[in-house]
Structure 1
Amino acid sequence: MSVEINNETGWDLDLTEFTDLVSFCLEQLYVSPAAEINIMMVDLKTMTELHMKWMDLPGPTDVLSFPMDELTPGREGHPSEAGVLGDIVLCPDVAAEQAKDAGHAPVEEMLLLTVHGLLHLLGFDHAEPAEEKAMFTLQRNLLLNFLAER
């Protein structure tokens, strides 16, 4: 599993924790061990520019996902194909504001957003209520199981 993380912000983060989380999630979702994923942590200005360029929406957002090879989860004994999952772009400053509103630590919000972005790379969406329920339940379970095993 190839997980590359670039922190282009002033945030002092334990990037190993994010790598471990992504590896755990991909293993749980039976994604090929040869899959590749990139995560970038960016500042407000960069995220605002990306949000406008790719979503045509003003202001920064918390996370953006850019799927590449359109990989989907596998199943036990039948992992997904190898390939490039894509890129996740996180904005720690936006995550910190959301964390404050939710009453938890900024790093917990960033880990949650990492799982959220990863699920988008694997084809999950939350446009419809049933999709949202399924995606958010899976997102929550993956994160809680990861945190319980640490």
Structure 2
Amino acid sequence: MSIEVSNESGVDVSEEELISVARFVIAQMDVNPAAELSMILLDLEAMADLHVRWMDLPGPTDVMSFPMDELEPGGRPDAADPSPSMLGDIVLCPQFAAEQAKAAGHPLAHELALLTVHGVLHLLGYDHAEPDEEKEMFGLQRQLLADWYDDQAALYHRTRQGERDRHLLDRTSDFHNHPDSL
């Protein structure tokens, strides 16, 4: 899976974290693992320009999605051979997201992870224009974000356990090589 991030926002964010959450959501939604995604981070002015041009709405916004290919979770049943596709572009505005994060009382990194999940779901055809669509999309968004956090916690614990195991093995090998030194 190829995920490109271009940060033109002037805000220092963890691109690795954005890639991680996007990759997780794409995998959970059963999209072809060779799919491609582009993420662009813009400043307030550039995002406001896009928002007016594409949505005919004034001012900046937090996230916009620009799908490239018609993709659905699990692939399209009418496709002869599920091949890699370009999902599209997700455009994030970290400055706008920072204000939302502050108002919600959580860190910018969490807000950007949430917006990344939201953007990927839009690329996959989810919407929230109607109440039933909103309920479905936001429920899925919450679940995917929670599952990603669980996955990150498990990865952290596996990594820490591996470090402890390596340390113990190093000490054991020292003992076997130099029993009098311990």
- TM-score band by shorter chain is over 0.9
Runs of 4+ in 1 over 6 A off after TM superposition: none
Could you say what secondary structure the match of 2:39 adopts?
strand
Higher gyration radius (CA) = 2
TM-score in terms of structure 1 length: 0.94
Counterpart residue number, 2:7: 7
User: Higher helix proportion, which one?
Assistant: 2
Question: What is the correspondence of 1:44-123 to structure 2 with a 5 Å cutoff?
Answer: 44-74=44-74, 81-123=83-125
State percent identity of aligned pairs.
57
Provide the aligned C-alpha RMSD in A: 1.4
Runs of 5+ in structure 1 lacking a partner? Answer: none
Aligned residue number for residue 129 of structure 1: 131
Counterpart Cα distance in 2 of 1:10 and 1:70? 32
Secondary structure of the residue aligned to 1:123 is coil
What is the TM-score when the length of structure 2 is the normalising length? 0.78
Looking at structure 2, the residues matched to 49 and 91 of structure 1 have their Cα atoms a distance apart, in angstroms, of 12
Unaligned runs of 5+ in 2: 76-81, 153-182
2-structure distance, mates of 1:40, 1:116: 15
In the TM superposition, what whole-angstrom CA distance separates every residue of 1:4-33 from its partner, at most 9, and x where no partner exists? 001112211111111111111111110001
In 1: Cα distance, 2:103 partner to 2:16 partner: 26
Count of aligned positions:
147
- Tell me the SS of whatever aligns to 2:88: strand
